[in-house]
Structure 1
Amino acid sequence: MNIVVLVKQVPDTAAERTLSEADHSLDRESADLVLDEINERAAEEALTLKEAVGAEVTVVSMGPDSALDAIRKVLAMGADRGIHVCDDRLRGADVVTTAQVLAAAVRTVADVDLVLAGDATTDGQASVVPAVVADLLGLPSLTHAREVTVEAGGVRAERATEHGEATLGAPLPALVSVTEKINEPRYPSFKGIMAAKKKPVATVDLDDLFPDADDTGFLVTRTRVVKAVPRPARTAGIRVTDDGSAGRRLVDHLIAQKLV
């Protein structure tokens, strides 16, 4: 069984982050970058399935040179090989381009049975990339899974909804996106960290993934931040002393703020 897990390196949400003055994008030089936690859980699920059914796990990531650190961490956790899509032309790529590139990278892996991904990255939170990748690959998509079971040539996913629980099923090959409820990721062991240094990682660019593109090359669509302003400082709130009219005054304030 061949499993591909999609991962992304993101800014650490617990650390200070700043924007570049030039284009208002993240200043990656000053940011602490980490493997996204939701992708870490997707990787853990891939490794759990590897141990259960005897699979080979390939980790795929798109990003600059530093994204190799995210790949190496998953290799240290127990994945077998990596694919790093690294191309300066992809800077600022939107979700459509990201999905197209990731799908092309998955196609380079022979006989893929299952693709695993987090349902939403902490930096973008668009929640659509896994579904678009599945559509481009022609795979059934099981989204927002909190439990995954592979058996008898198919995959089953349990999903929690606001109305209860739902069970999704599809034949393999398929793509499954997972939530933070899926598992608790393992820590890489020292042995795993050392072994990860010897595991193969293929670095590819747009020309490798799209060799049939015309003279203008693969069309990269991007997002652009037009303006960014600092968050305003906190101001003192309004204190209402109850002298018998507090309820009326509170309602008037809510109405004035168009909250009711």
Structure 2
Amino acid sequence: MLYTIIGSLLISLLSTNMSAHFSFSYFSPCHLCLLGFLALFSIYLTDQNPDHVLCIEGERQALLRFKIGLTDETNRLNSWVDEERDCCRWVGIVCDNSTGHVHRIHLPGPDDHCNFEDYGTPKEYEEASKQRLKGDINPSLLDLKQLKHLDLSCNDFGGIQVPKFIGSLENLKYLNLSSSNFGGTIPPQLGNLSELHVLALGSFHNRFVPIKTIMWNMQWLSGLRWLHHLDMSGVNLSKATGWHQS
């Protein structure tokens, strides 16, 4: 509607000046100011809303299911509600402007204290822990076909295993699950993420919650041909095999 109004005004001004054979000297200072204002306003509107595409409904529903599996004690995801139709405006979500596909989920812990040694007492750690996302990671993320960036670092997933299905997010280029209290074996299915540039699964020493992650086989790393950053600090590699191949 605004673009229609601007266009009508410009046509009106130009039509008024047809008899002047397009002589710019005919334009009064007021005309020129108005034309300049309309041009700038049009540019502003384009920058603010460059043919904004809403997020894809199936992906919006997938994110809502993902949220249901999480425990969010401090309501960090308060913008993730069914009433908000455009998930691209939700906190931590970035979409492709032309397609509406979700490209990024960026939900690291809300402070820079991934190192639990920063907290002097268990009570301080417990208070800080309330700010971290907990619960489960729902496989609904598989519906995000163009997801390239997943950051859930510095949260607290209570010792659950890194989900095997993450290895099916084939377009991932950035995966950061570091210092989020995962446990069990790191699944070799992550070796299917052939587009990965960054893989962070490490953790700082935590005297309140013992490190639980372990890797039995390193061979799957050889499939990550584009990898240029790997963090497995704190992961138990004492029994890992496949060093030579990887």
TM-score of Structure 1 vs Structure 2, range by shorter chain: under 0.3
TM-score (norm 1): 0.23
Higher helix share: 2
Q: Which has the higher strand share?
A: 1
Higher relative contact order at CA 8 Å, sep ≥6: structure 1 or structure 2? 1
> Scaled by the length of structure 2, what TM-score is found?
0.24
